[in-house]
Structure 1
Amino acid sequence: MKRIVVFLICMNLFLMKGQELTIPQLSQYLSDNPFLMSPSFAGIGNYVKVRMNGVTQWVGIKDAPDTQSLSADVRLGNRSGIGMVIYNDSNGETKQRGGKVSFAHHLTINKYDDHYFSFALSFNLNQFRIDIENFDPNDDSAIINDRSSSNPNFDIGTLYRRGSYYLSLNASNILNKDVQKFNQVFEPNTLRNYYLYTGYTYRRSRRADFEIEPSIFFQYFENGQRSVTDVNTKFKWYDFLDYYYAGFTYRFLNDQLGSPLYVAPIIGLKKGDFYFGYSYQVIMNELLGYSKGTHVITLGVDLFQGISNCTCTY
């Protein structure tokens, strides 16, 4: 009975995630890695930014979701950027692997006011597979081989920046999914989701060594017609070019404002060219009795630093 209850809870929480057919979007973007969330950030920075992310969800529950990803982006010329992401994701007996390649272009509205607009396009390729290796053939004799499909898709993104304020609007998985190899009645083929990321970085002065960055991430899933919101705050301390930060994120379903999915403290640092970030997500729903929480770890390195002739890529 206990396993049945856990399974039903997990299915209820994962209905949103299952339709994405892409890398699960938790708090990785807060670890100095907004490109992982939006292609419009590709090429912002005077270096090759490489980030490795590991997400282990719902520790203590067998076959819980587990994800690894590697992302990198770099400036291309003075006004553009390119980036790539590869990932491996498993959730029980369902597996998905894939990657995306992105191109972004950055326009200057007014360089004296640090006023910019960016737009981007990504091509995605995802392989989704149901692994029957651990299935009991006595439960369903119709299942005789693995089910898999490969699906190409596209994302589009925009980014508006003015001074310390930023706003990113994005649409992911624009094309419908190929469901011919699965149950076409129950398997969703509409993968589109839309998301907004906005925030503001506050410093008392340009020379100040402390800043506060409140931000909001909102994501809407077209198929399930549900949405989630993250409310985030980061506190960052600078030591010349190095920095340290701490903060928290609060995620909730928008039709259940008073019942958060999780609350997550976040910490991190950048020392020289190396970066480390960590988040521990404290589950705030029925899974709390079965799981010890979710761990999100980010490791990174910045390579080949250079100087751009356009402030739009700073």
Structure 2
Amino acid sequence: MKKITLFILLMSLFLVRGQELTIPQLSQYLSDNPFLMSPSYAGIGNYVKVRMNGLTQWVGVQNAPDTQSLSADVRLGNKSGIGMVLYNDANGETKQRGGKISFAHHLIIDRHEDNFFSFALSFNMNQFRIDIENFDENNDQAIVDDRASNNPNFDVGALYRRGGFYLSMNVSNILNKNFKNFNPIFEPNTLRNYYLYAGYKYRKHPRDKFELEPSLFFQYFESDGRSVTDANIKFRWYDFLDYYYAGFTYRFLNDQPGSPLYVAPIIGLKKGDFYFGYSYQVIMNEILGYSSGTHVLTLGIDLFQGISNCTCTY
């Protein structure tokens, strides 16, 4: 009975998440990698920013979700930026692969107040695939080969910054999905996700080595009305140009704020041009009886550092 219950639970989660055609947004954006979540961050920084992310979900559960992504962005001229993301997501016998190319433009509202506005557009190409070669039993004569669907789409994003405050608003998968290779009754064709990310970096004094950064991440799925929120806190210690950070994130469904989906400590550092970030998400829902948690690892490097003539790209 336990195996049957687990199978139903996992399949329901697979089907819900498998249709979103986007990179699973867990806590990897907290590892100094907000571009992975919003294209409006492309080109902020005087270097080529490269980040590699690995997610191993539900440790101990066979065929649990596993995701890898590679992102890079760079300033283009004084006020623009471009970036790209490639990702691979395996979820049992369902596979998602895709990539996106982003362009962002940054405007100065008030350079003396560090007040900036950015907007961005991304083009995405995603493939959703169901592999049948590992099916133990397949008595349906209509299913004789794999099922796959390729879907181009677009994301838009905007970012407002003023001093230590930032607010990012984004919409992903603006277009509806082509579901002709699947069952239109059970397959949602509305894939729009809405993201809001806001926070504040606080120091008592500009030369203070200690920084506090509370933030919130909100995600809404139009297809079924689900929404989740991350409540985050980060503590950062600076050592000249290097720094170390530690923090905590708490994710919950917005109709159940007292019942977290997971809680996760986060740690990381920047040493020279190299970045490292790690988070271990302790699952707090029904999967807890079968898995201890999820690993999230980020490695990064900054290349070809230069000097910008425009403060909006700092």
Whether these two folds match at TM > 0.5 is yes
Q: Which residue of 1 aligns with 2:222?
A: 222
Q: Which residue of 2 aligns with 1:186?
A: 186
In structure 2, how many angstroms separate the alpha carbons of the residues matched to 1:91 and 1:148?
14
Aligned partner letter, 1:125: M
Runs of 5+ consecutive residues of structure 2 not aligned to the other structure: none
Preserved contact between residue 237 and residue 245 of structure 1 (Cα < 8 Å): yes
Map 1:240-259 → 2, pairs under 5 A? 240-259=240-259
Q: Which residue of 2 aligns with 1:98?
A: 98
In structure 2, how many angstroms separate the alpha carbons of the residues matched to 1:207 and 1:254?
38
Q: Which residue of 2 aligns with 1:108?
A: 108
Offset at 1:58? 0.3
Q: Which residue of 1 aligns with 2:262?
A: 262
Map 1:53-68 → 2, pairs under 5 A? 53-68=53-68
Deviations 1:158-190 (A, max 9, x none): 000000000000000000111000011101111
3-state SS, counterpart of residue 184 of structure 2: coil
In structure 2, how many angstroms separate the alpha carbons of the residues matched to 1:14 and 1:256?
21
In structure 2, how many angstroms separate the alpha carbons of the residues matched to 1:251 and 1:13?
16
3-state SS, counterpart of residue 195 of structure 2: strand
2:32 equivalent to 1:32: yes
Preserved contact between residue 41 and residue 104 of structure 2 (Cα < 8 Å): yes
Runs of 5+ consecutive residues of structure 1 not aligned to the other structure: none
Q: Which residue of 2 aligns with 1:172?
A: 172
Preserved contact between residue 106 and residue 312 of structure 1 (Cα < 8 Å): yes
In structure 1, how many angstroms separate the alpha carbons of the residues matched to 2:19 and 2:205?
44
Greater mean alpha carbon deviation, residues 135-144 or residues 236-245: 135-144
3-state SS, counterpart of residue 5 of structure 1: helix
Aligned partner letter, 1:140: D
In structure 2, how many angstroms separate the alpha carbons of the residues matched to 1:13 and 1:198?
28
Q: Which residue of 1 aligns with 2:200?
A: 200
3-state SS, counterpart of residue 5 of structure 2: helix
In structure 2, how many angstroms separate the alpha carbons of the residues matched to 1:252 and 1:138?
37
Offset at 1:20? 1.6
In structure 1, how many angstroms separate the alpha carbons of the residues matched to 2:42 and 2:287?
36
In structure 1, how many angstroms separate the alpha carbons of the residues matched to 2:15 and 2:163?
38
RMSD over equivalenced CA pairs, Å: 1.0
Offset at 1:136? 2.9
In structure 1, how many angstroms separate the alpha carbons of the residues matched to 2:280 and 2:258?
20
Offset at 1:12? 4.3
User: What is the percentage of aligned positions where both structures have the same residue?
Assistant: 79
3-state SS, counterpart of residue 64 of structure 1: coil
Deviations 1:63-84 (A, max 9, x none): 1000000000000000000000
In structure 1, how many angstroms separate the alpha carbons of the residues matched to 2:231 and 2:40?
21
Deviations 1:220-250 (A, max 9, x none): 0000111000000000000000000000100
Offset at 1:19? 3.1
3-state SS, counterpart of residue 3 of structure 1: helix
Offset at 1:14? 4.8
3-state SS, counterpart of residue 63 of structure 2: coil
Q: Which residue of 2 aligns with 1:295?
A: 295
Deviations 1:274-311 (A, max 9, x none): 00000000000111010020000000000000000000
In structure 2, how many angstroms separate the alpha carbons of the residues matched to 1:307 and 1:14?
45
Q: Which residue of 2 aligns with 1:158?
A: 158
3-state SS, counterpart of residue 21 of structure 1: coil
Map 1:1-80 → 2, pairs under 5 A? 1-14=1-14, 16-80=16-80
TM-score, reference length from structure 1: 0.98
Preserved contact between residue 16 and residue 221 of structure 1 (Cα < 8 Å): no
TM-score, reference length from structure 2: 0.98
